[in-house]
Amino acid sequence: MKTHREEIWLEIPDRRGFRNITPEIERALAKSGIREGLCLVNSMHITSSVFVNDDERGLHADLEKWLERLAPHEPVSGWQHNRTGEDNADAHLKREVLGRGVVVAVTGGKLDFGTWEQIFYGEFDGRRRKRVLVKIIGE
Amino acid sequence: MKTHREEIWLEIPDRRGFRNITPEIERALAKSGIREGLCLVNSMHITSSVFVNDDERGLHADLEKWLERLAPHEPVSGWQHNRTGEDNADAHLKREVLGRGVVVAVTGGKLDFGTWEQIFYGEFDGRRRKRVLVKIIGE
Amino acid sequence: MKTHREEIWLEIPDRRGFRNITPEIERALAKSGIREGLCLVNSMHITSSVFVNDDERGLHADLEKWLERLAPHEPVSGWQHNRTGEDNADAHLKREVLGRGVVVAVTGGKLDFGTWEQIFYGEFDGRRRKRVLVKIIGE
């Protein structure tokens, strides 16, 4: 069995935003030399997500508005967590909707994806450097 | 280490619907000959889900109504994604609530499940053939 | 390849509640002797979740209130599933938001976590003994 571990650092300039990280994951997989196995990709932070969806700008705008409706940032004082001095309670909740991460099959040395699947980092409390973990196991 | 890969094709006749795919996953596991490991099951589409819950008709009706309330199909023009000519923005969002897929433990050659756990395919933009990926690794 | 399997039993005294189970998972990992691999942790019940977030009391209160707003317990008769004699339809839905379980990377014999990541059991239909499955594969 082989394993490969890598951190991907990124900084979203706004509080919220999405970034396609598929190319970085493909590079990590190529480096690993693994041809059959599983690839775990997860945010190492609890106010952001890694998820698989469509690379379409309108959809990302919809996702952003929809999550803001489900778990609004304002009023900041409406969430108990923010009494600790934070203002990111909504980010902890939004991240639960999209999830912490994904497990992707590796087949023939490639991410085993359907036609439109792409991996995204979803940030809900940005404007600072954050990390995504890639762990691949297989052979 | 052994790996097994399989695609399950299915077509839900309506826009939305749920189907219990546990028997198909059990057959794939039996074919694999793997007795200890992990089994990834995920939708290869970004408008449907694979998830674990109860095989109870009333619950599926509740899930359907609940997701429609959280991310309504209508008005179609209310979602930016639909300006691309699509009408399935809500399906991309609904799928985020139930998730892309599940990882199930394999123990003694069986899916290692609690009493009521069953694997479902959740469709939010159906009426065409779609694929579920099964990838099992272990020994 | 090595594998390790363990069940963690727990009982939440109220209908809903969260418990940090990171120490139990760390003990299971230590017992396994696995240094590189993947660790799956999932609820074996369909009315509870295993998820990764912050160990902060205010946040857990927010999560509880937020899930209750998204999928209210009352009116019990508002959900079709409850016509079976159950009163836990809301628990089946809440569990979909937080998810069935998580896959955590194992690196150097440790859970490969960011600074604030902790694993929680989220109960939505408690007051009885329930099980969490831990399955670790690697070497």
pLDDT digits (tens, 9 = 90+) for B37-58: 999 999 999 999 999 999 999 9
Residue C43 to residue B114, Cβ atoms within 8 A: yes
Q: Which of A51, A59, A139 sits opposite B81 (nearest CB)?
A: A59
B→C interface, C-beta within 8 Å: 1, 36-38, 51-54, 56-59, 61-63, 66, 70, 97-99, 102-105, 107, 112-117, 137-139
Q: Which of C38, C70, C79 sits opposite B62 (nearest CB)?
A: C79
pLDDT of residue B65: 98
ipTM field: 0.97
Q: Please, are residues A52 and A120 in contact by the beta-carbon 8 Å criterion?
A: yes
Residue A58 to residue B80, Cβ atoms within 8 A: yes
Residue A23 phi/psi, 5-degree rounding, is -60, -40
Q: Is the peptide bond before B75 cis (omega within 30 degrees of 0)?
A: yes
Mean pLDDT of chain C: 98
Question: For residue B117, what pLDDT band results from cuts at 50, 70 and 90?
Answer: very high
CA–CA dist B91, A62 (Å, integer)? 12
Q: How far is A55 from chain C (nearest CA, A)?
A: 23
* Residue A70, Ramachandran bin (φ over 0: left; ψ between -120 and 50: alpha; else beta): alpha
Residue of B nearest to A107 (CA): B5
Strand partners, A104: A39
Output the tens digit of pLDDT for each of chain A's 139 residues: 999 999 999 999 999 999 999 999 999 999 999 999 999 999 999 999 999 999 999 999 999 999 999 999 999 999 999 999 999 999 999 999 999 999 999 999 999 999 999 999 999 999 999 999 999 999 9
Rounded (10°) angle between helices C57-70 and A89-98: 50
* CA C27 vs CA A125, C24, C96, C118, C134: distances in Å: 32, 5, 27, 14, 11
* Interface with chain B: mutation pick from A54, A98, A100, highest number of B CBs within 10 Å: A54
pLDDT of residue A109: 98
Burial B64-102 (b: 16+ CB within 10 A, else e): bebbeebbebeeeeebbbbeeebbbbbbbbbbbbbbbbb
B→A interface, C-beta within 8 Å: 1, 3, 5, 38, 40, 42-46, 70-71, 79-84, 89, 92-93, 95-97, 99-101, 103, 131, 133, 135, 137
CA–CA dist B18, A112 (Å, integer)? 24
User: B79-99, pLDDT tens digit by residue?
Assistant: 999 999 999 999 999 999 999
Strand partners, A119: A52
Of the CA atoms within 13 Å of residue B135, those in its CB half-sphere come to 24
Q: Which of C3, C46, C101 sits opposite B116 (nearest CB)?
A: C46
User: C59-73, pLDDT tens digit by residue?
Assistant: 999 999 999 999 999
**Greatest extent of chain B over all pairs of C-alpha atoms, in Å:** 51
Residue C45 to residue B114, Cβ atoms within 8 A: yes
Q: Which of C1, C58, C112 sits opposite A133 (nearest CB)?
A: C112
Q: Which of C38, C96, C101 sits opposite B98 (nearest CB)?
A: C96
pLDDT of residue B11: 98
Residue of C nearest to A89 (CA): C59
Question: For residue C8, what pLDDT band results from cuts at 50, 70 and 90?
Answer: very high
Q: What's chain C's length in residues?
A: 139
DSSP C100: S
Residue C67 phi/psi, 5-degree rounding, is -65, -35
Q: Which stretches within C1-139 are classed as H helix?
A: 22-32, 57-70, 89-98
Q: Are strands C48-53 and C118-123 parallel, antiparallel or unpaired?
A: antiparallel
Residue B81 to residue A62, Cβ atoms within 8 A: yes
Q: How far is C77 from chain A (nearest CA, A)?
A: 24
Q: How far is B46 from chain A (nearest CA, A)?
A: 5
A-contacting chains (≥3 CB pairs under 8 Å) = B, C
Q: Which of C44, C83, C103 sits opposite B103 (nearest CB)?
A: C103
Residue B1 to residue A138, Cβ atoms within 8 A: yes
* pLDDT (mean) for C78-89: 97
